[in-house]
Structure 1
């Protein structure tokens, strides 16, 4: 999720709800579990680290947009053997990977580098109002950590960053402007805005579209790359509306293969 979605029918309920996303970090003695739950995804990543090297990587996908998405679970294992630093996961990894699994891995490694413990980030983003504005609230471990007002995906508040767009160089600006922990929160908030674009459309109808109907997105992620581009379809009925609140946490982490790592 998401991209140019205008080939989907409009969602008649858009403007009345809230997109919600939860990212959960659970430290292990030798790694970290990172889980994602939102309107379109229910998935998680486990990374095992020995010294400064990723020795194992596992993932689960319980809810996802495209029929081909689970193939990215095996693709994630290409991270094994790479340096256990956040910088090891650059944007170039995303073409053959699930964007969300890779971002969860990057966020988890960033947390490991800072030697931080377990934690929870929850994001709520209201649908655009009649003026094209949206309000975003990010809580970290139950406490307010970010509050944005957006107009057409450009910051209105915080006032000191008014006019800063969320795309086209935003990530570079974030990492140049904030310390690592705060930069990660801004990254999580930006991804929430990107994914929440889907709320304006009916993307999981009983008439699934082929991935190949969006040629401009070729190479964007696992399902838009390689053989998947020609064979993948939308899943049907996968969207959940969490406007009223996210459900309780319940999922176990994916089990890595190398238990002794």
Structure 2
């Protein structure tokens, strides 16, 4: 039986001179493709197949302006993450990090809805469990080296991890933060000015004044038969019977 949860999948597909990263979760389906030559990004193509605010698609051009001409290994240093759609920007960085590899990378993230203040956050990479975190009242209780910390205090620990685990931990932490949005009611037509400015492209002051919530945005992708990137499911090579939470609450 599926556990009610925030679900996010990320698929990164490198090929010679080209790398694509795609994401889907409760509120987004987005994709970024980087074309590169001799370690330089020569073209940034992105698209949004599902997006929450009326102004989000303006970030497609912004991402190209930010990243075209940059070195693959310097994309994170370009900055300007919050002036872009943060999801597109993150996808571009994931793509760049794996641009010269030869195999696809598939991340499957699940963050269970809180039950009596407890929740589980898990990350599966290429079919293998990478992280399983437990929280009670927003503080970690497992694994033991995180006990007593909050999500906002994980930066130092994440910085000690090796490359793949560092990337995975960042993905899982951000998803665990995003998962709190499942408890929020954001009605169609709500102005973005209701929220603090500066968090991303849409919430910059010049966009926020024109941004309103789009209709029919959220999808519960933990429902039976409703998984993220369902049309790419074969790429995830998940364990038999996997229902979104490997280690249950």
If the TM-score is normalised by the length of the shorter chain, which range does it land in? 0.7 to 0.9
**Correspondences of 1:34-183 after superposition (within 5 Å):** 34-78=21-65, 79-85=67-73, 87-90=74-77, 92-112=79-99, 115=101, 117-130=103-116, 132-168=117-153, 170-175=154-159, 177-183=160-166
2:208 aligned residue: 229
Matched, 1:249 2:231: yes
Across the aligned residues of Structure 1 and Structure 2, the Cα RMSD in angstroms comes to 2.0
Could you list the per-position Cα deviations for residues 68-118 of structure 1 after superposition, in whole angstroms to 9, with x for gaps in the alignment?
000000111020001111x532484123200100011111212236x3621
Are the equivalent residues in 1 in contact too, given 2:15–2:99 (CA < 8 A)?
A: no
SS in 1 for 2:122: strand
Are the equivalent residues in 2 in contact too, given 1:36–1:42 (CA < 8 A)?
A: yes
SS in 1 for 2:133: strand
Residue 232 of structure 1 deviates from its aligned partner by 0.5
1:256 aligned residue: none
1:254 aligned residue: none
Mapped to 2, the partners of 1:124 and 1:225 lie a distance apart of 29
- Which TM-score applies when normalising by structure 1? 0.81
Could you list the per-position Cα deviations for residues 3-54 of structure 1 after superposition, in whole angstroms to 9, with x for gaps in the alignment?
xxxxxxxxxxxxx721111000111211210000111101110011111211
Are the equivalent residues in 2 in contact too, given 1:153–1:193 (CA < 8 A)?
A: no
Which residue among 190, 193, 198 is the counterpart of 2:181?
Answer: 198
2:240 aligned residue: none
Mapped to 2, the partners of 1:228 and 1:172 lie a distance apart of 33
Residue 161 of structure 1 deviates from its aligned partner by 2.0
Mapped to 2, the partners of 1:160 and 1:32 lie a distance apart of 35
Residue 226 of structure 1 deviates from its aligned partner by 4.3
Are the equivalent residues in 2 in contact too, given 1:49–1:55 (CA < 8 A)?
A: yes
Are the equivalent residues in 2 in contact too, given 1:39–1:241 (CA < 8 A)?
A: yes
2:242 aligned residue: none
Residue 152 of structure 1 deviates from its aligned partner by 3.6
Structure 2: 5+ residue runs without aligned partners?
A: 234-249
Residue 57 of structure 1 deviates from its aligned partner by 0.6
SS in 1 for 2:150: coil
Could you list the per-position Cα deviations for residues 166-187 of structure 1 after superposition, in whole angstroms to 9, with x for gaps in the alignment?
115x335412x10011000001
Residue 238 of structure 1 deviates from its aligned partner by 1.0
Q: Provide the aligned length of Structure 1 versus Structure 2.
A: 227
Are the equivalent residues in 1 in contact too, given 2:14–2:95 (CA < 8 A)?
A: no
